[in-house]
Amino acid sequence: MQVLKEFNEFLMKVGSGGTILFMAVMAIVIPYEVIGRYIFQKMSIWSGEVSTYSLAWASMLGSAVGLKKGYQVSMTSVVESIPPAAAKILKWTAYLFTLFFFAAMFYYGLYQTIYNSKQTSPAMGLVMSVPYASLPAGFFIMFFLTLEEFLVFIGQGKKGDAR
Amino acid sequence: MIIFLAAFIILLGISAPITVALGGCSLVYALVGGTVPITTLIQTTFGGLTSFPLLAIPLFMLAGNLMNEGGLTPDLVNFARNLLGHIRGGLGHATILACAIFAAISGAAVATAVAIGVVMLPAMKKAGYDEGVAAALTSSASCLGPIIPPSIPFIIYGVSANVSIAGLFVGGVVPGLVLAGALMVYMHFVAARHDYPRDPRKPGKEILTAAGKALPALFMPVLIMGGILSGMFTPTEAAGVTVVYSAVIGAFYYRQLTFRNLPKVFLKSGLESGMVMLLIAMSEPFAWFVAADQIPQLIIDWISQVTTSPYAILFLINVFLLLLGIPMETAPALVIVTPILVPIAAAVGIDPIHLGIVVCLNLVLGLITPPVGAVLFAVCGMTGMPLDRLSRAIWPPFFVSLGVLGLVTYLPWLSTFLPRLVLGR
């Protein structure tokens, strides 16, 4: 559990750093495009691709880090209105399905990333694996953060190890 | 279709994250049904994450956070108080005005409630306002955030429904002003009944000084809407320009924003927008499967046996959304219902901009509908007020807002005449 916790702390640092970086890229590129158009009278062919691919990366990393910080929402009204024992079974099921979903999305995301390694983007000629890799990267972080939370939930980790 | 819907409802019910429920039902359908390759799920998700119009969401969120961190809000509130504090219920009116101006900068209700509430709630308490009334008024006025442009829900709806975001932004102006006006009328009567104190009337010079200090903030709505309406830039570019403008005035005019706190602001905005963006990305395969299975068509066929009146259908949509808004936040509800409601409304001739504003206003009211509402939680968190007390106090302004929803629903020109006038749509 300690190894998983340390690994997740590392993932959180990488995810947070990446989110900051790609948010900064978007915040610079879009105004640059407007300023370039009106002040320097020229349009760049790369800004659309750089900003939308940064959006994909910032969104996947931001939502993964947000998972740990409680940003992801779920409907808890059913679970809160039934006896605790039954609620625990439902939560177990929810955790297991969530782990399965993140693992499947990681696997097929990675498949699609490799599949697109020979395709290039129309404007910049960037290998399409680069933006596609945001999906497996984000789901990879989400899987391990959820795994830690699940282990705490079933009593394998110490209280306070996870949210 | 049964597998798809059953998986979605079961996953929601067992408290799986809504993003997992949205994507999970598509995954189960692809695995069990076997008629759609799973790569479709990845491709549509990726398509949802790389949409140029959606760039406006993280950028508007970033601009709002830069404004807050840059120290703009106190001057904005001070201006509103100097202008309206002397009339009956003046502090309440100032809260509504400050929320309306902040709404024209930010596009979210919770951000508006927190930014304005943190200054106005203690001020109203100090002046002798009932705490419940003050908290309920701030909560209701914060609903202006996503209705007065710019608006995160309008961007989500616009992208999902393939409707002009600029058209929705312009269409939201009048309903937003009507809501602000209705809340001011409500506040006037409450203040008269409880005889709430007023601020002394400020001399014109003092009001002008306060306006001068708040001018950089007051100019921002002009920059956003002026730029979009004049065709100088798209809503996404407007968001980018707003980011630069907020950063510059936060750093050089208000002098609160430094390079040191920039990463914190970027991260906060990235986490907030990441949650919304993942919802949208997961809703893309959901919408694809909904369309492929012709679910809206089945609902249209079923409804058309009951009624074909647009008014009756709008009534049914409103009742359904009010119920949905109780347990569910605006963004997830929006990504789930938009692909289903838009074809239904189109079939009976409802204007998509009108529908968008009705849907967004309705779901935004869900943020203040007890017992579950993000704005209620945020205001309770700020004031330390028990949720039960705010849940009781919220009903009068909630019903006022509900009345405005009725007006916006049954007077479509409130939402459509400005877009037609300004944009020719």
pLDDT attached to residue A142? 97
Compute the C-alpha angle B356/B404/B410, nearest 5°: 60
Distance from the Cα of A65 to chain B's closest Cα (Å) equals 7
Task: Provide the residue-wise pLDDT of chain B in tens; the chain has 425 residues.
Answer: 788 888 888 998 898 888 999 899 989 888 887 777 888 889 999 998 999 999 999 999 999 889 888 888 888 889 999 999 999 999 999 999 999 998 888 778 888 898 889 889 989 998 899 999 999 999 999 999 899 999 999 999 999 999 999 999 999 999 999 999 999 999 999 999 999 988 889 899 999 999 998 898 888 888 888 888 888 888 999 999 999 999 999 999 888 899 998 999 999 999 999 988 998 888 888 888 787 777 877 887 888 788 889 999 999 999 999 988 887 788 888 988 998 899 989 989 999 999 999 999 999 999 999 877 889 988 988 888 888 899 999 999 999 999 999 999 999 999 999 999 988 76
Partners of B251 on chain A (C-beta within 8 Å) are: none
Asked if the peptide bond before residue B150 counts as cis, ω within 30 degrees of 0, the response is yes
B19 CB near a chain A CB, below 8 Å? yes
Q: What is the mean pLDDT of residues A2-19?
A: 96
Nearest to A30 among B19, B27, B55 (CB): B55
Gap between the Cα atoms of B155 and A96, Å rounded: 33
B contacts of A63 (beta carbons < 8 Å): 19, 271, 274-275, 277-278
Assign A4 a pLDDT band (cuts: 50, 70, 90): very high
Of A27, A69, A97, the CB nearest to B271: A69
Q: Are B233 and B239 in contact (CB under 8 A)?
A: no
Residue A75: closest C-alpha in chain B: B15
Contact of B24 with chain A, judged by CB distance below 8 Å, is answered with yes
User: Which residues of chain B make contact with A78, given a CB cutoff of 8 A?
Assistant: 13-15
How many C-beta atoms surround the C-beta of residue A43 within 10 A?
Answer: 10
Tell me phi and psi for residue A74, to 5 degrees: -140, 160
The C-alpha of B330 sits at a distance from chain A's nearest C-alpha, in angstroms, of: 11
The number of beta carbons lying within 10 Å of the beta carbon of residue B220 is: 24
Distance CA B221, CA A25 (A): 24
Q: At what angle do helices B395-410 and B173-194 cross, to 10 degrees?
A: 150
Which distant-in-sequence residues (6+ apart) come within 8 Å of A21 by Cβ? none
Q: A74 by DSSP, 3-state: which? A: strand
